[in-house]
Amino acid sequence: NAGVTQTPKFQVLKTGQSMTLQCAQDMNHNSMYWYRQDPGMGLRLIYYSASEGTTDKGEVPNGYNVSRLNKREFSLRLESAAPSQTSVYFCASSEYGGQTDTQYFGPGTRLTVL
């Protein structure tokens, strides 16, 4: 039981390049999330998917797109990377997305945009 896995662990991009961050969970959870973590700012929600087939914007969605490929997988795409997107990205999942649900986090992807 691997929990939440993310690939890649590290990535360096040049401004304007695109890439997709992959996330998968094996806990049969309905809800999945993408966060970014910046120094001194805690985690901020980029996008989330309450259930398979649905996605919604979070607090900081600009410059990102997401795809809920199936129940297990939720990818985050940067179409044209900018230095402001340098951050650590975390994927998370929860069983139902309810107020009291525990979110389970992946190990993160450290992205640098030059």
Partner 1 sequence: AQSVTQLDSHVSVSEGTPVLLRCNYSSSYSPSLFWYVQHPNKGLQLLLKYTSAATLVKGINGFEAEFKKSETSFHLTKPSAHMSDAAEYFCVVSRSDGNEKLTFGTGTRLTIIP
Residue at token pair 């795809």: 67
Residue 58 interacts with partner 1 (CB under 8 A): yes or no: yes
- Please tell me what DSSP assigns to residue 85: G
Among 34, 64, 74, 90, which residue interacts with partner 1 (rule: CB under 8 A)? 90
Contact 60, 44 (CB under 8 A): yes
Helices (H) and strands (E) in the chain, counts: 0, 11
**Smaller CB distance to partner 1: residue 59 or 79?**
59
Helical spans, DSSP H, in 1-114: none
Residue 43 interacts with partner 1 (CB under 8 A): yes or no: yes
Among 50, 55, 65, 73, which residue interacts with partner 1 (rule: CB under 8 A)? 50
The footprint of partner 1 (CB under 8 A) covers 4, 31, 40-45, 48, 50, 58-59, 90, 92, 97-108
